Amino acid sequence: EEESSGHDEL
Amino acid sequence: MNVFRLAGDMTHLLSIIVLLLKINATRSCRGISLKTQELYAVVFVCRYLDLFTNFISLYNTVMKIIFLVSTFTIIYWMRFHKVIRVTYDREQDTFRYQFLVLPCLVLALLLNNEFTAMEVLWTFSIYLEAVAILPQLVLLQRTNNIDNLTGNYVFLLGSYRALYILNWVYRFMTEKHYRQYLVWISGIVQTIIYIDFFYYYIKSWRNNEKLSLPA
């Protein structure tokens, strides 16, 4: 599993 | 999506609605910093480039488009609308863009998760957002008569990142691989910048007085 990039936030 | 994230997004959205309403209803952008609005436009454009490359959700896409369109609408009104543009406090809104943009750009080139154009621009947008409110706060300090809507706008805008911090804490505890140190530090800096404003905003609200910031 990859590290969450946080790019799903605004 | 957790409740803190949703509350943060809704607060952010509400801040922009308040600003659109204020300008449209009063036909005046008095007390609003065009510099801050233009910095936000840069922030949104750099961060939302992934609109073209990566679909996350309908919610995500719609919100990004709302933030982009509303910010450019405000800039258009302040620069070109024949009634509104004359109400802009041009002489007071003197903060220099380069003092914020250049350090953030250098920092994004040095400190990022991946050295690609998209990632560096995304990181730049995170750093720039943290400080983009400064021209607005300086302008508020120079404005003797801060109207309620302008005060509410800045309060909501500041609250949004504070709610995001709670969202990050929640995600850190619930998601295994959620590590975003650069974003967390930027978000904390962004919230700290508002603390002085929050203090005077809450004080004026509790005492039922008009908001004013000491010079």
Lowest mean pLDDT among A1-5, B19-23, B48-52, B96-100: A1-5
Single-letter amino acid, residue B27: R
Strand partners, A4: B178
Interface predicted TM-score (ipTM) of this complex, two decimals: 0.85
Q: In whole angstroms, how far apart are CA B198 and each of A9, B10, B118, B138, B205? A: 24, 19, 34, 14, 10
Q: What are the E-state strand segments in B151-204?
A: none
User: Is the distance from CB of B215 to CB of B141 less than 8 angstroms?
Assistant: yes
- The whole-number pLDDT of residue B179 equals 85
Q: What single-letter DSSP state applies at residue A3? A: P
SS3 B136: helix
Distance from CA of B12 to the nearest CA of A (A): 10
Nearest to B8 by CA among B171, B213, B174: B171
pLDDT tens digit sequence for B47-73: 999 999 999 999 999 999 999 999 999
Judged by a CB distance cut-off of 8 A, whether residue B174 touches chain A is no
Answer whether B5 sits within 8 Å of A9, measured CB to CB: yes
Label residue B130 by pLDDT band (50, 70, 90): very high
Residues of A in contact with B183 (CB under 8 A): 6
* Alpha-carbon span B150 to B123, nearest angstrom: 29
Mean pLDDT along residues B88-114: 97
User: Is the distance from CB of B160 to CB of B11 less than 8 angstroms?
Assistant: yes
